[in-house]
Amino acid sequence: MSEQVFQGHRAVTIRHLQKHIGEEVLLQGWLYNKRGKGKLYFLQVRDGTGIVQAVVSKDAVSPEDFETAAKMSQESSLRLIGKVVEDKRAPSGVEIQPSRIVLVGESREYPITKKEHGPNFLLEHRHLWLRSKKQMAIMRVRDEVLKAIRDFFYDRDFACVDSPIFTPNACEGTTNLFGVQYFDEMAYLTQSGQLYGEASAMALGKIYCFGPTFRAEKSKTRRHLTEFWMVEPEAAFYDLEDVMLLAEDFVSYIVRRVLQNRREDLEVLGRDLSKLEPASQTPYPRIRYEEAARMLLESGDETFVPGEDFGAPHETFLGNSFDRPVMVTHWPAAIKAFYMKRDAANPELALGVDMIAPEGFGEIIGGAQREEDLEVLEERIREEGLPEEAFRWYLDLRRFGSVPHGGFGLGVERTVAWICGVEHLRECIPFPRMLYRIYP
């Protein structure tokens, strides 16, 4: 017997039940919740694509099957054969009237109950917490974001060319690297695929890399993970303006896709769509660092020091000043990475761009036009005291047909958190890795 066919019935997922009204179908899933007594039980069944109510009446099933339903406990797995009946009041639009109920796997004393659990308890049970309504909704939005990312670049002729995860050197500064023993030498888990992405862009023109990145950040904020996913487009012949146009097209496209295809999930999450919708339209506002700094000072913020990077409260203030993401450009070069090109009009400034999301969700994109001149870049590497030998290959890109180029990195979890309206990044990745957490 195939897994998907049971007693002659083909399995249908809850998402597609609407197309089977009036038919007898096989449903396979887990018991999310149960009500009822006596001659009638209401089983809330979930299968990952949705939740549907099965109304089990004593007259409609065998005494054994009725007993099974009566005894079944939360998160038991089951198979149902039943008729799909239209029910306009139900979120799924239908309910099931079972004629057969089969217990597949028991679930005794499921630890996550309806009562409130603290975040530590839930994180300790992340492998089960994922089965909760809200968590499933976040994972489905994340899935839509991942697919939208790939579609966006595929449709615009950006090839996916991935960067390695084991690397011999740092990309975004040396303080937050995870070192690993690589046979007889030391290697590091990548903080960003960008430098390799630049090499790939010199080969294929427009590329993106997309994978997990690692930062040994000792910060416990809700916006930091030690392992997170980043998508990094890089394009030959792009200047800062091109990078910004790409970034706003990209982010607005992702928002539109989620609004189109994952509205139900956003509803489960209680997302205020009126706050998200403006981000589905371009252009996005743009301000220079200087102007952002002035806004902060005028707001009476006493923690901000001009010339320094923005902290979380500063990003929150700036993000809240606009109805959609804002792009901040022309940063003090001293606080930005060695590879950023300097502004010809003022070499103290770097042609970097950060995109800050509204509603306090912070920076979602960091990017820049890159320095393409060999001598200038060699000088930068020396100034920063970086190991020149490790960058030999990177400098080759400036030796053999160097061109202006640029790109950015978008943090997937930050983007999902913002779109879902979820405060903490730890709910936006299936198994979060943080300063004090590597289990489960």
Q: Which residues bind ligand 4AD (CB under 6 A)?
A: 171-172, 192, 194, 215, 217, 224-225, 228, 230, 232, 363-368, 407-409, 411, 413-414, 425
Minimum distance of ligand 4AD from residue 361's CB (angstroms): 10
How many other C-beta atoms lie within 10 A of the C-beta of residue 317? 18
Binds 225, which of ligand 4AD, Mg ion, none (CB < 5 to 8 A, cut-off by type)? ligand 4AD
Give every strand in the sheet of 166-167, ordered side by side: 166-167, 185-189, 179-182
Minimum distance of ligand 4AD from residue 178's CB (angstroms): 12
Q: Distance (Å, rounded) from C-alpha 69 to C-alpha 34?
A: 9
Residue number with the smallest Cβ distance to Mg ion? 366
CA neighbor of 79 nearest in space, from 142, 121, 149, 31: 31
Measured from the CB atom, the residue of 50 and 406 that comes closer to ligand 4AD is: 406
Scored b (16 or more CB within 10 A) or e, 97-118 reads bbebbbbeeeeeeeeeeeeebe
Minimum distance of ligand 4AD from residue 366's CB (angstroms): 2
Query: Which one-letter amino acid corresponds to residue 220?
Result: K
Query: Which one-letter amino acid corresponds to residue 159?
Result: A
Measured from the CB atom, the residue of 82 and 406 that comes closer to Mg ion is: 406
Minimum distance of ligand 4AD from residue 410's CB (angstroms): 6
Measured from the CB atom, the residue of 95 and 232 that comes closer to ligand 4AD is: 232
Could you tell me the two tokens for 376? 């200038």
Measured from the CB atom, the residue of 264 and 309 that comes closer to Mg ion is: 309
Q: Distance (Å, rounded) from C-alpha 384 to C-alpha 308?
A: 18
Of all helices (H) and strands (E), which one includes residue 275?
Answer: helix 273-276
State yes or no: residue 366 binds Mg ion (CB under 5 A). Answer: yes
Minimum distance of ligand 4AD from residue 340's CB (angstroms): 9
Minimum distance of ligand 4AD from residue 88's CB (angstroms): 41
Measured from the CB atom, the residue of 266 and 355 that comes closer to Mg ion is: 355
Binds 171, which of ligand 4AD, Mg ion, none (CB < 5 to 8 A, cut-off by type)? ligand 4AD
> Which long-range contacts does 379-385 make (Cβ < 8 Å, 24+ apart)?
380/338, 380/339, 381/338, 383/338, 384/338
Residues β-bridged to residue 344? none
Which residues, at least 6 apart from 140, have a Cβ–Cβ distance to it below 8 Å?
Answer: 262, 265
Binds 52, which of ligand 4AD, Mg ion, none (CB < 5 to 8 A, cut-off by type)? none
Sign of the CA dihedral running 340, 343, 346, 352: negative
Measured from the CB atom, the residue of 34 and 223 that comes closer to ligand 4AD is: 223
State yes or no: residue 362 binds Mg ion (CB under 5 A). Answer: no
Q: Distance (Å, rounded) from C-alpha 193 to C-alpha 165?
A: 8
Measured from the CB atom, the residue of 145 and 355 that comes closer to Mg ion is: 355
Residues binding Mg ion (CB under 5 A): 366
